[in-house]
Structure 1
């Protein structure tokens, strides 16, 4: 086959070791190169990245590219801020003194599905001071609450835990006491919802 000149292959995985194979290349020379993000370095073997495919040769040649993260990563607090369908802040996102004197609890929310922006390091709930790191979706249905991180932005590690607050009262939550052992079902009427976690992200962002 004749691969399109300049074809870009996106390789993803969870273990840090990825493999891509093409078994239908015609004889000729091919160049392997990597496009990496800022803060990452790459080393290729062979150094020039050139592979030669020879008719009838076995085994086929291969190239190994080692991509290394050279960024310093720091742990940062994140909170979920309710947003409107157009992405603007929803007035029901109520700022309060959570961890590091900031955070949001969101409500009142009737049954339905809601989208939230995940902000890191937005001191005093000022998003201009923080970093938007991803998106969260929460569904309230039949008295039960479910939620999932739907998107994490490039270079940000997905949260590995969540602290959740759910209440039918508008009382300002106390962190961390009101975020412990919160049931996900058994609610009637409108609720107030808060999501807190931490992420690993480039230091200084």
Structure 2
């Protein structure tokens, strides 16, 4: 079945799109041991592009989400309590555009300046992005299987459901979803997956 989400006059609807990318990685000491409770920061001199990670866990892992505003160098630093580790003076870190990235950081054994080249600062691209936007679904019993495509920029989508379910005249619903998806790229017209959207009665499931 082909359908369309129509907004009320004056409303601005954000249909499904990439919202942010993820920076993740590991913080270790000079001897390779993981650093716990460190926080990774990114920003630019004007205060734009600000991002703050979760504190590192027992394995030194952290993550934060960001949206590159333009291709410019970024300040990268790590704080542990009141101690702040930074890149060398007048040096910036360049984050690749339109991709998530894995940044592993090794802190110095002495001082607070991070050596900004491998193996103490290693960056590689990684899969996944944070998506957000409006999705449509049917209010049906939990476990009912159907597929629904991601609305295009005009709000149009396609829903496929067994005739026996359609004959019960289920009601449509719309919901705004934000989710990090790592195993695929999502786009207009792509099918919603039960691994992404299944979550309870009335949620898209296919």
Instruction: Give TM-score, length-normalised by structure 2.
Output: 0.29
Greater relative contact order (Cα < 8 A, sep 6+): 2
Q: Which has the larger radius of gyration?
A: 1
Q: TM-score, structure 1 length as denominator? A: 0.29
Q: Which has the higher strand share?
A: 1
